[in-house]
Structure formats: C-alpha cells, structure tokens
Amino acid sequence: MQEEGEMVTPGEVLGKATELKAGKGAYIGSYRDTDIQYVFSSLTGLRRTLSPSPDSPDQRPTVEVTGHKAHGAVPEPGSVVIARVTKVMAKTASADIMCVGPKSVQEKFTGIIRQQDVRATEIDKVDMHLSFRPGDIVRALVLSLGDARAYYLSTAKNELGVVSAESAAGATMVPISWTEMQCPLTGQIEQRKVAKVGS
C-alpha cells in the first residue's frame, strides 16, 4: 500500500474498490477491461487515507487526493468540458480540454472523442471528418480517463458537440441543424456534429 502524502498522478491506481472508498480527487473504474473495480487518482497531488467513523456501516477507509498546488479545474468522469479540436483522424478526434464546467484548466489535459462516442444513433455511419474539424470548440462529457493520459470524451447527447466553428472564410459559423453549420459570409454549409443550444 502506498504511503501517506505520496505524490500520485491522474489514472494511478490507489487500491481496490473492495478495500477503499473514493474520496475527493479519486474515482472508481475497472482496470484494463477486467471486472475488478479499482480506485484511481483523478489529479496530480498527495494521497491521503481517512479512517471511517467507528459507527459507520461501511468500514472501508476513504482515499482522497489533494492537489499539490493551487491549479485550475480537473476533468473527472461525468463532468462536462469545453475543448478545442486539435486533430481529426478516421476513428478518433483529439482535443485540448480548456474548461471543466465554468472553470478554466491550468494544466494541459488531452481528450479523445472516439467514433462510437460522437452520437447516439447510426454510430457505424459516423464520419469523423464530417463531425469535427481542427479548431472547432466542442462541448463534451468526460466518460473516463483513457489510455496515455487522455480522457475519453463523448458528444453523444443533443446538447453536446460543436458549439463554435470557423468557416474556411474565417467567420464564426451558425448552426442550422444538428449536422450542419453555415458560414454567414459565403453561405457555404459544412457538416458538423452540432451541439443543440437551449432546450
């Protein structure tokens, strides 16, 4: 077992979920496609284990991670983030996470949107290049901490997807449907996975 006050990083295993409860800065997930649930760290910081109160029915200690420095927000599974698309490939799009909820991040967090997480229907027909372009600003849901320190993001809800995009002419495009945005200067229509605005 790790020592108190030991420095841990995002995605690091803190212990088995059968033996520990996840407190602040920690979350529960399965490890490398096994069914065993582990507690992972969701941020860089110092690990701390809190003993349960004697009258608690759950006698597992709680493990938490406290940030080692005052930094901005940290993406966690279930949080909604704003990210800028940096690269689009056949099966995935990469994005730099800029905000978690209303708070901006101060460290570099990378997100990956996989083809199966772009939208909820007709998943096999998703064309990544018609859903996102580099420079697009997207609203996405954090699914989990994926591999290589990148977070898996989903845009598979109506309110998630591209919220701001620049056209080839350099203008901010206007959404005209959930799959299309239009350049106000040229009238040219481009395909996108558009976030629904409002209710």
The answer on 182 and 147 residing in a single domain is yes
Kindly state whether residues 91 and 33 are assigned to the same domain: no
Max Cα separation, the chain?
69
Q: What is the pLDDT of residues 53-91, one digit of tens each?
A: 888 888 999 999 887 555 567 888 999 999 999 999 999
- What global pTM score does this model have? 0.65
In this prediction, residues 191-195 reach a mean pLDDT of 96
* 20 residue type, one letter: L
The residue with greater pLDDT, 8 or 72, is 8
- All residues at 6 or more sequence positions from 20 whose CB lies less than 8 Å from its CB, including other chains: 14, 39, 49, 60, 61, 62, 63
Averaged confidence pLDDT in the chain: 88
Q: Which CATH number do you get for residue 162? A: 2.40.50.140
Give the residues across from 29 on adjacent strands: 38
What's the chain look like in SS3? CCCCCCEECCCCEEEECCCCEECCCEEEEECCCCCCEEEEECCCEEEEEECCCCCCCCCCCEEEEEECCCCCCCCCCCCEEEEEEEEECCCEEEEEEEEECCEEEEEEEEEEEEHHHCCCCCHHHCCHHHHCCCCCEEEEEEEEECCCCEEEEECCCCCCEEEECECCCCCECEECCCCEEECCCCCCEEECCECCCCC
In a domain, 178, yes or no: yes
Kindly state the average pLDDT of the residues 1-28. 82
171 and 111 within one domain: yes
Residue 113 has pLDDT above 70, yes or no: yes
Pairing, β 7-8 against β 45-50: antiparallel
The whole-number pLDDT of residue 69 equals 55
Could you give the C-alpha distances from 95 to 7, 30, 115, 182, in angstroms and in order?
27, 24, 14, 22
Residue 198 maps to a domain = no
Q: Is residue 35 part of a domain?
A: yes
Q: Return the pLDDT at 3.
A: 43
Q: Distance (Å, rounded) from C-alpha 143 to C-alpha 152?
A: 5
Domain limits for position 11: 7-67
The residues, any chain, with a CB within 8 Å of residue 164's CB and separated by 6 or more, are 136, 137, 172
The reply to whether 155 and 86 lie within a common domain is: yes
Domain count, the chain: 2
pLDDT of 149 strictly over 80: no
Q: Is the pLDDT of residue 182 over 70?
A: yes
Q: Does residue 57 sit in the same domain as residue 135?
A: no
